Amino acid sequence: KNRVALVTGASVGIGAAVARALVQHGLKVVGCARSVDKIEKLAAECESAGYPGVLIPYKCDLSVEEEILSMFSAIKTLHQGVDVCINNAGLARPEPLLSGKTEGWRTMIDVNILAVTICTREAYQSMKERNVDDGHIININSMSGHRVVPDSVVHFYSATKYAVTALTEGLRQELREAKTHIRATCISPGLVETGFAFKLHANNPEQAAATYESIRCLKAEDMANAVIYVLSAPPHVQIGDIQMRPTEQMS
Ligand code: NJP
């Protein structure tokens, strides 16, 4: 039987690369994001490449809990449930602590923290009700979840990623208390060349481009390889956190 994986934020960047890699490895992947047209295009590419798995696009705004719950209920109806949950969707808004807008902070909390937690709970419940004991929850974290860099535009983003560090470790403990063998892992990248910095510096695309040109960045495919490595570890091995930086990255 094909394992079912949910990948959030599968429309572009790291999530799209992870979704593609999982389909290449034969999984049935539900990829969600708001721009579902991009996931449909990726699904068609995977199909014409003849990959053994399948990508199923699902439109979902992760900042709306009802949409997340509807998605899990659709997955239950159509594909029984989730065996692997990759919490990848995330964003950074340039909102310093001394002058930022509350709305920007709230959006980061909704997607980077709350959606991760809601998806985790729903994925766990789905695994539990089907007695799936080899499930895996992987959170795409950040090096910003492990240290605070001197750059005010990302301080609040960093705070949300520190939350992901705590959530992943807390989850690992709750899974042990629940006496399951479901595993929890986070993968924490440094700079990855995606559209991420262009959204962060939406008013200054030159700055975003300069960020990516300053060093040889990680590629989204490097992150996908890390996900495959984590999932292929034998059942007694739980990888807690992979910190992965570009070789040339200083901070
Ligand atoms: O970002 P990007 P990455 N509802 O902007 C989705 C972390 N990270 O791939 O809805 C649903 O290319 C969005 O979909 P759409 C980072 O924190 C990155 O680089 O169509 N989906 C898109 O698919 C994040 O956790 C770097 O706009 C929503 C995806 O999220 C993860 O890596 C460094 C959504 C974002 O794609 C992936 O980032 C680092 C919503 N409300 C950590 N809002 C890096 N790139 O340098 C967003 O340390 N999405």
The pLDDT tens digits for 52-61 are 999 999 999 9
CA of 91 to the centre of ligand 1 (A): 5
pLDDT band at residue 121, thresholds of 50, 70 and 90? Answer: very high
Contact 158, 149 (CB under 8 A): yes
Percentage of the chain surpassing pLDDT 70? Answer: 100
What mean pLDDT value characterizes the chain?
Answer: 98
Closest residue (by CA) to atom 2 of ligand 1? 196
- Best of 8, 11, 71, 110 to mutate for ligand 1, by most ligand atoms within 8 A of CB? 11
Retrieve residue 172's tokens.
């690992």
Closest residue (by CA) to atom 20 of ligand 1? 35
Regarding the beta carbon of 63 and ligand 1, being less than 6 Å apart is answered: yes
Q: Tell me the per-residue pLDDT of 129-167, one tens digit each, with 9 for 90 and over.
A: 999 999 999 999 999 999 999 999 999 999 999 999 999
pLDDT on residue 2: 83
Q: Tell me the per-residue pLDDT of 89-111, one tens digit each, with 9 for 90 and over.
A: 999 999 999 999 999 999 999 99
pLDDT on residue 135: 98
Amino acid at 101: K
Q: What is the pTM of this model?
A: 0.99
pLDDT on residue 176: 98
- Best of 55, 86, 88 to mutate for ligand 1, by most ligand atoms within 8 A of CB? 88
CA of 199 to the centre of ligand 1 (A): 9
Q: In what order do the strands lie in the sheet with 183-189?
A: 54-59, 28-33, 4-8, 84-87, 136-140, 183-189, 241-244
CA distance 90 to 109: 10
Closest residue (by CA) to atom 24 of ligand 1? 90
Single out the catalytic residue among 157, 162, 212, 229: 157
Percentage of the chain surpassing pLDDT 90? Answer: 99
Q: Tell me the per-residue pLDDT of 31-82, one tens digit each, with 9 for 90 and over.
A: 999 999 999 999 999 999 999 999 999 999 999 999 999 999 999 999 999 9
- In the residue annotation, 162 being an active-site residue is answered as no
Regarding the beta carbon of 61 and ligand 1, being less than 6 Å apart is answered: yes
Contact 226, 138 (CB under 8 A): no
Residue 1 pLDDT > 70: no
Regarding the beta carbon of 145 and ligand 1, being less than 6 Å apart is answered: no
Regarding the beta carbon of 106 and ligand 1, being less than 6 Å apart is answered: no
Regarding the beta carbon of 35 and ligand 1, being less than 6 Å apart is answered: yes
pLDDT on residue 212: 94
Closest residue (by CA) to atom 32 of ligand 1? 140
Q: Which atom of ligand 1 is nearest to the CA of 189?
A: 48
Q: Tell me the per-residue pLDDT of 195-240, one tens digit each, with 9 for 90 and over.
A: 999 999 999 999 999 999 999 999 999 999 999 999 999 999 999 9
